[in-house]
Homo-oligomer: A and B are copies of this chain.
């Protein structure tokens, strides 16, 4: 279970090879998304956040930390940086396909957190946009049975949101 070489996918990033002794896809995934704040940045990206100030306001994280995390996600090919205004130049961050493919990780963390770390009930409920059914922890619509992809899902405030 040891990895010999970082391999081409790692060379493309500036990330420190945190778990370099591990020949393991989970370790490989965590090298790219396992830093503090990174998965919350991606959560926000799935909720539609695109601009630096929006991420900053949602996360209340130090701006330099946020900047570093965003740059690493861009270098890893998980977010892409796109100019949306010319003068002054302004950029926004959007999920790439590689980033969008992290949706199962986000949903799995959310569902476990709903059960074990949401004392007031789920703050967010994810529904199938097509029929309004809730999704289960396999990302299957509990109403119509469709196996959902991220673009077919819609988050909305859940019972736990009222407590805030």
**Pair B108/A164 contact, Cβ less than 8 Å:** no
Distance in angstroms between the alpha carbons of A65 and B96 in the assembled complex: 35
Residue of A24, A26, A102 contacting most chain B CB atoms (<10 Å): A26
Q: Is A142 an interface residue (CB 8 A)?
A: no
**Pair A18/B36 contact, Cβ less than 8 Å:** yes
Distance in angstroms between the alpha carbons of A31 and B112 in the assembled complex: 12
Interface size class of A (residues with CB under 8 A): 35 or more
Q: Is A156 an interface residue (CB 8 A)?
A: no
How far is the CB of A107 from the nearest CB of chain B, in Å?
8
How far is the CB of A101 from the nearest CB of chain B, in Å?
6
Distance in angstroms between the alpha carbons of A49 and B43 in the assembled complex: 31
**Pair A163/B23 contact, Cβ less than 8 Å:** yes
Distance in angstroms between the alpha carbons of A58 and B60 in the assembled complex: 36
**Pair B26/A110 contact, Cβ less than 8 Å:** yes
Residues of B near A2 (CB, < 8 A) are 164
Distance in angstroms between the alpha carbons of A106 and B21 in the assembled complex: 19
